[in-house]
């Protein structure tokens, strides 16, 4: 009953208490009372107050569920194969260059990107390079594009 507005409780509180006491308070009755209290509160609030409360509730829900969502970044680019006669060979050549040890080591060690920060502290560079290499995929996108994706 404390969820209902005070004016409503003063007017109807004793009657509702007596009714609930006579009928019994099972889970269905309690849920119905809570639902009614929430509706009553929302109907008596001004729009700014309602917006503030719902905004704060949304923020708290976001904070509660954000640790449950995995942090994942996907970068994808499609490059045209202008005039390439052998797209598979071109893709293999690109894969060899992009996933080379030197190329990946430069990207991993670039302080501006700060990729694999946790792994760099605990693993040898070769293991981090292998993780990054596994996260890069190459595919043909249509007949005239190569798609490169990093997850």
What's the CA gap between 12 and 116, in Å, rounded? 62
User: In this predicted structure, what is the pLDDT of residue 47?
Assistant: 87
Q: What is the pTM of this model?
A: 0.51
What's the CA gap between 71 and 115, in Å, rounded? 13
Q: What is the mean pLDDT of residues 61-88?
A: 84
- pLDDT tens across 100-110, in order? 999 999 999 99
Quick check: 95 and 124 in contact, CB under 8 A? no
Q: How confident is the model at residue 84 (pLDDT cuts 50, 70, 90)?
A: low
- pLDDT tens across 16-41, in order? 888 888 877 788 888 888 898 888 88
User: In this predicted structure, what is the pLDDT of residue 91?
Assistant: 84
What's the CA gap between 144 and 50, in Å, rounded? 54
Is residue 142 predicted with pLDDT exceeding 70? Answer: yes
- pLDDT tens across 37-48, in order? 888 887 888 889
User: In this predicted structure, what is the pLDDT of residue 4?
Assistant: 82
6 contacts: CB under 8 Å, gap ≥ 6: none
């Amino acid at each position: 009953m404390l969820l209902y507005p005070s004016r409503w409780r003063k007017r109807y509180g004793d009657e509702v208490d007596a009714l609930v006491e006579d009928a019994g308070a099972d889970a269905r009755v309690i849920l119905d009372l809570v639902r009614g209290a929430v509706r009553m509160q929302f109907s008596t609030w001004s729009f700014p107050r309602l917006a503030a409360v719902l905004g704060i509730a949304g923020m708290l829900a976001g904070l509660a569920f954000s640790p449950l969502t995995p942090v994942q970044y996907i970068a994808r680019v499609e490059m045209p194969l202008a005039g390439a006669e052998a797209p598979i060979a071109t893709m293999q050549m690109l894969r060899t260059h992009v996933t080379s040890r030197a190329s990946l080591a430069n990207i991993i060690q670039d302080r501006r990107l700060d990729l694999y920060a946790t792994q760099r502290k605990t693993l040898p560079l070769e293991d981090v390079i292998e993780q990054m290499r596994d996260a890069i995929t190459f595919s043909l996108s249509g007949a005239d594009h190569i798609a490169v994706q990093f997850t």
